[in-house]
């Protein structure tokens, strides 16, 4: 059952006394209400973004409306991508408050901060029921193509070709490499691998690709067939190819998170650019990758 609404006069007094450092118990005694009522008032003000001193534009009616607006059902509220939030929180300096502010910029009618944090904790609790994968330094490199493509325009004809975006993520550090190519064919696939290893400065013990036909000719849970050229590549670099199992999303969770970060923090920033060559596009991708160091 919800708390009884406080009169505006008492709301103002709660906010004023809280700003001056009085405890909830002291404020409750001052306004003649229960401490839980004071705590509820403070929580509602925080969720509504109301601070003391109040804005001159916030009259009594507006203050009541913002403090006690009817909540939108969670099922009808834009839901954050919790896997993306979880990955971002591992980055230095990133906080839940920062991610919530970015979420609210995209969805002004979205969850307030307390609900945002509560729903994230609920999501996290469900993830912790699953055995987490541990990755040793230099052990595995996860590779895949992003779902988004980038158009490249022919200067002379205006024809458009959609460039594919290759993504490689180191399992231990989340260090990420990305580049664009015109196809997902064997030459572009293997060339991207070589350039990724040059970017990382060495080869891992194993590469974990999704079951792309360029690298895996027959997907199988226990005995996949690896493309001959891909196998030769593996022998040359003295590493193993360990394809992700079909319908086992956790096998490739690292690269899916890396793909998401590349799409949001690189490709999204390039969405309004017009590119006339693959080299031009890859130059911009390289600059944004460098700006995201330490790893994405």
3-state secondary structure (DSSP) of residue 161: strand
Cβ atoms of 139 and 171 within 8 Å: the answer is yes
What's the pLDDT band for 219 if we cut at 50, 70, 90?
Answer: very low
Stretch among 28-37, 89-98, 213-222, 234-243 having the lowest mean pLDDT: 213-222
Determine how many CB atoms are found less than 10 A away from the CB of residue 281: 21
Query: In the CATH scheme, what is the code of domain 140-291?
Result: 3.30.420.10
Interval 190-215 mean pLDDT = 85
Q: What is the mean pLDDT of residues 118-133?
A: 68
- Please give the pLDDT value at position 222: 38
Q: What's residue 129's pLDDT?
A: 45
Instruction: Say if residue 130 is exposed, middle or buried (CB neighbours under 10 Å; 0-12, 13-18, 19+).
Output: exposed
Angle, CA of 220, 175 and 215, to the nearest 5°: 25
Q: Is the per-residue pLDDT at 19 higher than 80? A: yes
Q: Which two tokens stand for residue 254?
A: 């690292």
User: What is the structure's pLDDT at 46?
Assistant: 87
Sequential DSSP letters for 65-124: HHHSPPPPPGGGSPPP-HHHHHHHTTSTT--HHHHHHHHHHH-TTS--HHHHHHHHHHHH
Give dist(CA 277, CA 285) in Å, integer. Answer: 13
What pTM value is reported for the model?
A: 0.51
Three-state secondary structure call for residue 29: helix
**What local confidence, expressed as pLDDT, does residue 255 receive?**
58
Residue 275, C-beta contacts closer than 8 angstroms, at least 6 positions apart: 150, 151, 152, 153, 163, 281, 284
Provide the residue ranges of all domains of the chain, joining segments of one domain with +: 8-67, 74-127, 140-291
Angle subtended by helix axes 35-48 and 60-67, to nearest 10? 100
- Give me the DSSP letters along 140-154: EEEEEE-S--EEEE-
Q: Exposed/middle/buried for 2, CB within 10 Å: 0-12, 13-18, 19+?
A: exposed
The answer to whether 67 and 44 are in contact (CB under 8 A) is yes
């Amino acid at each position: 059952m919800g708390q009884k609404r406080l009169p505006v006069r008492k709301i103002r007094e709660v906010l004023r006394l809280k700003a001056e450092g009085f405890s909830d118990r002291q404020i409750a005694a001052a306004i003649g209400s229960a401490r839980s009522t004071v705590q509820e008032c403070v929580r509602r003000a925080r969720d509504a973004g109301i601070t003391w001193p109040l804005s001159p534009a916030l009259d009594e009616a507006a203050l009541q409306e913002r403090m006690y607006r009817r909540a939108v059902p969670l099922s009808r509220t834009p839901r954050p991508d919790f896997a993306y939030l979880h990955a971002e929180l591992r980055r230095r300096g990133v906080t839940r408050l920062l991610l919530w502010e970015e979420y609210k910029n995209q969805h002004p009618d979205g969850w307030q901060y307390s609900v945002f944090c509560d729903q994230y904790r609920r999501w996290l609790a469900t993830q912790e029921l699953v055995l987490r994968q541990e990755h040793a330094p230099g052990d595995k490199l996860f590779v895949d193509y992003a779902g988004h493509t980038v158009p490249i325009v022919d200067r002379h004809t205006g024809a458009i070709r959609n460039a594919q975006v290759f993504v490689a993520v180191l399992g231990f550090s989340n260090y990420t490499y990305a580049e664009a190519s015109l196809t997902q064919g064997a030459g572009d696939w293997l060339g991207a691998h070589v350039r990724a290893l040059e970017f990382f400065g060495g080869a891992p013990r194993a590469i974990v690709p999704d079951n792309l036909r360029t690298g895996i000719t027959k997907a199988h849970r226990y005995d996949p067939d690896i493309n001959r050229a891909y196998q030769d590549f593996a022998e040359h670099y003295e590493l193993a190819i360990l394809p992700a199992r079909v319908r086992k999303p956790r096998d490739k969770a690292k690269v899916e998170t890396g793909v998401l970060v590349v799409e949001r923090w690189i490709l999204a920033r390039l969405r309004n650019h017009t590119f006339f060559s693959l080299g031009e596009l890859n130059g911009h991708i390289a600059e944004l990758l460098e700006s995201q160091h330490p790893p994405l």
